[in-house]
Amino acid sequence: MAAFIFYVTLFTLMASTSQADAAQTSAAALLLRVDQSGKGDYEKIQDAIDAVPSNNKEVVFILVNPGIYHEKIVVPADKPFITLSGSKPNDTVITGSDSGDIFESATFTVLASDFVGRYLTIQNTCGAGAKAVALRVSGDRAAFFGCRILSYQDTLLDDTGRHYYSNCYIEGAVDFIFGNAASLFERCHLHTLSEGGASITAQRRESPSEETGFTFLGCKITGVRTAVLGRPWGPYSRVIFALTYMSNVILPQGWDDWGDSSKQSTVFYREYKCYGPGANNRKRVEWSQQLTTKEAKIFLTKNMIGGKSWIRSTPKRFKKASSAISNNSTTH
């Protein structure tokens, strides 16, 4: 009951704070094209982002033509309402190999609100042995559709804000989905490269008052050897897997307390009607639970992140950028 009341309160709060209203969604989006061969408005993705005015108030649709873009990209906090889109994720690849600090190593960093990423591969090729973030999402109301997010350790820093991931492929080995956002992962494919019991998630909720947590709805989990579903980066870590296929890579215990038994009484680790050989709950740790149908109801829609009020559809009308914005990357 406490969880139900919590999420009803969360939904009410989030619905009241959304800024992406219907009028904005229906307006013509400003179209910018990125093409490495010089046939677009810009040759680099970052140059197109830099061209968006500060405190932007209209949807800017940046279409990225196929190619491998060796860039370290930041979407600044003062540039909301940007959509960055490829046509096929395998064809449009944003790649880097930085490592070290989790906040600085990301190949792609989103600080702005109301960002949308579509059909992109975002990767960090650093490999094993270092923290190497592919995607950091620190803005509110961010959504990703059909993206591939790839690294080894700390792949996706789902840092803060409300986020939605749909039909994404996310790959890594150690804590590869981590942070303290309030996020819904729907129909995503999680592939663990763990060689022996590393955790897929490390959610960082640090107090009962924080309105954060990860929900995986209708997802699929595969991997190369064995892994657990989550471990608590924060003592009140909250992760839910619902209606998700779990291959036999998931260890029978399911969850790990990160060597701190005191967190067993404060974490919120739940499963609901998951299936597959890794979903067998007979040997799950006693401090995780299966949700009843009534308890699960609040987690089975976008309401849990207030998403119906801010997740925007693809623009149907476009307008060409003015020469003041579309000046080609040579001016930067």
Which residues are designated catalytic? Answer: 175
Q: Tokens 């592919």 identify what position?
A: 134
DSSP H or E stretch at residue 26? helix 22-26
Determine the Cα–Cα distance for residues 168 and 144; give it in Å rounded to an integer: 7
Determine the Cα–Cα distance for residues 268 and 195; give it in Å rounded to an integer: 26
Q: What are phi and psi of 201, to 5 degrees?
A: -115, 155
Q: How many CB atoms lie within 10 A of CB 285?
A: 16
**Residue 97 · residue 132 · CB < 8 Å:** yes
Q: How many CB atoms lie within 10 A of CB 87?
A: 13
Give the closest residue to 190 by CA, choosing from 216, 159, 215, 164: 216
Q: Tokens 């009484």 identify what position?
A: 265
Determine the Cα–Cα distance for residues 240 and 15; give it in Å rounded to an integer: 22
Determine the Cα–Cα distance for residues 85 and 197; give it in Å rounded to an integer: 35
Query: Residue 110: CA atoms inside 13 Å, Cβ hemisphere, count?
Result: 31
What is the arrangement of strands in the sheet containing 116-118, beginning at the earlier edge strand? 289-290, 268-272, 238-242, 213-217, 182-186, 162-166, 142-145, 116-118, 82-85, 60-64, 29-34, 318-320
Determine the Cα–Cα distance for residues 297 and 293; give it in Å rounded to an integer: 6
